[in-house]
Chains A and B, each alone.
Chain A
């Protein structure tokens, strides 16, 4: 199963609403997770089961979608959200990741 993320990068201002798309090549029900990756740090789980917020993750992050179309939304971008974001399908092996979206702050 291939995952296609868009855009590959974006630049937004603090306070902006940001959306990242992840499209699966075939239906995966809700078996999708989102991760945040910052340079030199361990990746961090944000969302699992497409829309469930991981404990401790700020509520400005949210996920939606099912089967082939998924979205990660940051409702109000903060400076600490500068990072790359990846979707991952866990419906079947191999457990593929999207190619990532780099979020920059204007």
Chain B
């Protein structure tokens, strides 16, 4: 079964740091781009970070300079290093697999596998 499992969430004080991990199983992690998405209480889904299979990285403005995405293909793992955490970073963080499909000579992307999420609470 293709699966993603996040870990590393918890309670952290404002200004603190946390490192999230996501371990993949059931598919060849090396071939896929990956993302982090979060869902804050009472708010909507927010895409925050992408890392391509080739190592290309893109981040949302809300986390630029504070969060760093990385991957270790040998460990089939995705990471999110979160620094300078703020109250508004409180959310459930999901890792997702980035999938692509070709139709009508175009390439379309979507997030087909999601982990169950890990809760990050930023509070004093």
Residues in chain A within 8 A of chain B (CB atoms): 29-31, 33, 35, 37, 41-45, 48-49, 52, 54, 84, 86, 88, 90, 93-100
Secondary structure call for the B interface:
strand
Contact present for B110 and A90 (CB under 8 Å): yes
Contact of A52 among B35, B58, B103, B116 (CB under 8 A): B103
Q: Please state if A93 and B45 are interface contacts (CB–CB under 8 Å).
A: no
Among A29, A52, A94, which residue has its beta carbon within 8 angstroms of that of B47?
Answer: A94
Tell whether A54 pairs with B112 under 8 Å between CB atoms, given A42-B94, A86-B44.
Answer: yes
Residues in B whose Cβ lies below 8 Å from that of A100: 44-45
B1–chain A nearest beta-carbon distance, Å = 13
**B103 touching A97 by the CB < 8 A rule?**
no
Assess whether B108 is interfacial by the CB under 8 Å rule: yes
Interface: B27 (CB within 8 A): no
Number of interface residues of B (CB under 8 A): 24
Instruction: Return the contact of B111 from the options A37, A45, A99 (Cβ within 8 A).
Output: A45
A45 contacts which of B44, B106, B112 (Cβ < 8 Å)?
B112
Residue of B nearest to A42 (CB): B114
Using CB atoms, name the residue of chain A closest to B39: A37
Task: Tell whether B31 is near chain A: CB-to-CB under 8 Å.
Answer: no
Question: Chain A residues near B50 (CB, 8 Å)?
Answer: 93, 95
Q: Which of B47, B101, B114, B117 lies in contact with A48, CB distance below 8 A?
A: B101
Q: Which residues of chain B in 87-101 are interfacial with respect to chain A, using CB atoms and an 8 Å cutoff?
A: 94, 101
In the assembly, what is the distance between CA of A17 and CA of B109, in Å?
Answer: 28
Q: B51-65 interface mask toward A, CB cutoff 8 Å, 1 = contact, 0 = none?
A: 000000010110000
In the bound complex, how far is the Cα of B45 from the Cα of A99, in angstroms? 7
Instruction: Kindly state the separation between the CA atoms of A98 and B46 in the bound complex, as whole angstroms.
Output: 9
Chain B residues with Cβ below 8 Å from A84 are 44
Given A42-B114, A94-B58, A95-B50, check contact A49 B45 (CB 8 Å).
no
